[in-house]
A and B are shown apart, each in its own frame.
Chain A
Amino acid sequence: MKYSKWHVLSVCVLLVSVLAACNTNSYKLRDTNAHYLLIDSSVGYSPSVENYIQPYRDSLQMAMQKVIGYAEQELYGGLPEGLLTNFVTDLVLEECNVVADDHLIDVSVINIKGLRVPISKGDIRVENIYQLMPFENEVVLLTLSRQQMVELFDFIAGCGGEGMAGASFGIKDKKAMNIRVAGRPLEDRNYRVATSDYLADGGDHFEVFTKALAREGSGLKIRDLIIDHIKKLSSQGQSVNSELDKRIYYAE
């Protein structure tokens, strides 16, 4: 009996200990295994999620087909200036100045390559503007010194032109000459430039923007600005048009 008591006791101790061991909340990470599961058509689809999306997809299609304006002529890009870049940079400058509370924006710069297709003559649908501006670029407002403005215009001159509004200059030996902002020579002050976040980050080699004295987000998406501007023109009975005005030209 003595032995059995011992054993019963030991079994009890064992039980309690084992249970206690199993109950300790100390789990340690021992192994990991990672995969990236490609989502393609072989996955199949969830009918309930698909059914939920369908009505949204249908009405989205309708929204994209909506006509928002009319283009008098085809607006396409070009160097040193183009109808398309002039139209877009003009409206960016105009719309940014509507929302800029205190300091006005002097110049806007949008890269030609960021505008992916021309605006065709005739009806303009929402979808066309998504094709023109498929990126989610936002307008950012930069503060540049006078010297940085010269650097900016020289850089654009070196590129043979770009999308720009609010200023003009001639290109000679890949440098900007006869620079004018709002019709006046550069003054000894800082300037405010509206551009895309892409260029402000130094995209397309716009390195001068990365050295800006200040940078502010605007919360305005370039595509939304274009769509809203075209809608505004239509509501005022105006169509979409643009012209070449020698804002950037080859100087001899």
Chain B
Amino acid sequence: MQSSRRKFLHKSALGLGALTMVPLMGACAKSSVKITILHTNDVHSHIDPFPSNHSRWANLGGFARRAKLIEQIRAEQKHVLLFDCGDIFQGTPYFNIYKGKLEIDLMNKMAYDAVALGNHEFDNGIDALAGNLKRAKFPIVCSNYDVKGTALDGITLPYQIFERGPVKVGVLGLGIELSGLVNPNAYKGTKYRDPIAVANRTAAMLKSENGCDVVVALSHLGYRYDDDKVSDVMVAQHSQNIDLILGGHTHTFLDEPARVKNKNDQEVIVNQAGWGGIYLGRIDIELRQDDKKSVALVNSNYHV
């Protein structure tokens, strides 16, 4: 009796253990998280599709269509982030007549999660820009413009952290040097800081102090240049702690994102989605818990 009772208890404990472990281990083994990152850049006020007589992009693009596509993806995917990498403004009479109000209203409706600043955002001056951005329901991320004392003070953020399921995504923003591109009066008081230094500092802080699993840079520096002008590819090469650079400014259409080795010989994904809202960039990333850690823990206990 004693022995069979002991056996029973033994078995039930094992059984309980096994029953409890299976779903937990299953959960742990499957603890990969998929995040869908959607991105646009250089939409340049192309509210409507390009006109039917356009030489290259006839009948393509348009906010109402993009909104529909984003709605669909959000319905299908659990974790979605929607970003824009700047030059929202300037390019059609919509901007000239309505001064940016419509673009911001529509991006609010599409529920953009974060946006970087492009040089054309300054076209009507920094005060007009601040007025437009105050209407935005999404954060404007710009890490390398020091806007202290300007109209943008308190409006742009150096970084933003998003939690999607168990994953923390840190987002920083990189703006292009405005001198020579924009009338100095239009960005008065805005100080440009070295994007590479700022990006590395911000990314390190996001990962080590804020516990971000992924760091995304929204950039308007431009994809790549022939000379030594700082670009997304250059930032990637000199970076640490950045996983993804989504860019703009150079209106670059790619067949696939570039995979650039960073300072630590790790891959950084550099992407851009053309311009004008012709394409919506979509990057699905899969994150898994540090396999070694969880495997080690499960194994060490299993043999007790």
Binding site for B on A (CB under 8 A): 1, 3-4, 6-11, 13-15, 17-22, 24-41, 43-50, 52-53, 56-57, 59-60, 63-64, 126, 130, 136, 138, 215-221, 224
Q: Could you name 10 residue pairs across A and B whose Cβ atoms are closer than 8 Å?
A: A6-B304, A14-B304, A17-B300, A34-B256, A39-B61, A49-B106, A49-B110, A53-B63, A60-B97, A221-B123
CB distance from B299 to the nearest CB of A (A): 10
Partner of A11, one of B17, B64, B287: B17
The answer to whether A7 and B10 touch (CB under 8 A), given A18-B25, A25-B168, A53-B47, is yes
Is the CB–CB distance between A8 and B91 below 8 Å? no
Is the CB–CB distance between B290 and A30 below 8 Å? no
Q: Which of B137-145, B146-154, B231-239, B277-285 is the contact stretch?
A: B277-285
Q: Is there a chain A Cβ closer than 8 Å to B65's Cβ?
A: yes
Is the CB–CB distance between B301 and A17 below 8 Å? yes
A41: chain B residues at CB < 8 Å are 49, 59, 65
Is the CB–CB distance between A18 and B297 below 8 Å? yes
Q: Is there a chain A Cβ closer than 8 Å to B298's Cβ?
A: yes
Q: Is there a chain A Cβ closer than 8 Å to B294's Cβ?
A: yes
Look across to chain A and name the residue whose beta carbon is closest to the beta carbon of B28.
Answer: A22
In the assembled complex, the Cα of A32 lies from the Cα of B287 at a distance in Å of 9
In the assembled complex, the Cα of A6 lies from the Cα of B19 at a distance in Å of 17
Is the CB–CB distance between B59 and A8 below 8 Å? no
The answer to whether A53 and B279 touch (CB under 8 A), given A11-B20, A25-B211, A29-B287, is no
CB distance from B303 to the nearest CB of A (A): 9
A215: chain B residues at CB < 8 Å are 180
Is the CB–CB distance between B181 and A49 below 8 Å? no
Residue among A18, A48, A221 with the most chain B CB within 10 A? A18
Q: Which of B190-198, B217-225, B267-275 is the contact stretch?
A: B267-275
In the assembled complex, the Cα of A33 lies from the Cα of B294 at a distance in Å of 25
Is the CB–CB distance between A43 and B285 below 8 Å? no
In the assembled complex, the Cα of A98 lies from the Cα of B181 at a distance in Å of 22
Given contacts A4-B9, A126-B93, A138-B183, 9 further A-B contacts (CB under 8 A): A8-B13, A18-B25, A26-B289, A34-B271, A43-B65, A48-B67, A52-B105, A217-B180, A219-B125
The answer to whether A217 and B181 touch (CB under 8 A), given A34-B256, A37-B69, is yes
